[in-house]
Amino acid sequence: MEYSFSEIFYNQPVIAVFISWFLAQFLKVIINFVKEKKLDFKWFVSIGGFPSSHSAAVSALATSLGLKYGFGSGFFAIALVLAGLFILDARVIRKAAGKQAEILNQIVEDLYKKRGLKFERLRELLGHTSLEVFAGFVLDIVIGILVTY
Residues in the chain: 149
pLDDT for residue 94: 73
pLDDT for residue 66: 95
Torsion angles phi and psi, residue 39, rounded to 5: -85, 115
Buried b (16+ CB within 10 A) or exposed e, 54-74: bbbbbbbbbbbbbbbeeeeee
Distance CA 70, CA 112 (A): 57
Distance CA 13, CA 63 (A): 8
Instruction: Look at residues 77, 86, 78 and name the one whose alpha carbon lies nearest to residue 57.
Output: 86
Taking the whole predicted model, whether its pTM rises above 0.75 is answered as no
Element (H, E) at 106: helix 94-115
pLDDT string in tens for the chain (149-residue length): 677 888 888 899 999 999 998 998 998 889 888 988 888 888 777 777 778 888 888 989 999 999 999 999 999 999 999 998 888 887 777 777 777 777 787 887 777 777 665 666 656 555 667 777 777 777 767 777 787 77
Instruction: Look at residues 62, 88, 84, 82 and name the one whose alpha carbon lies nearest to residue 73.
Output: 62
pLDDT for residue 119: 60
Give how far Cα 132 sits from Cα of 25, 48, 74, 87, Å: 12, 8, 28, 10
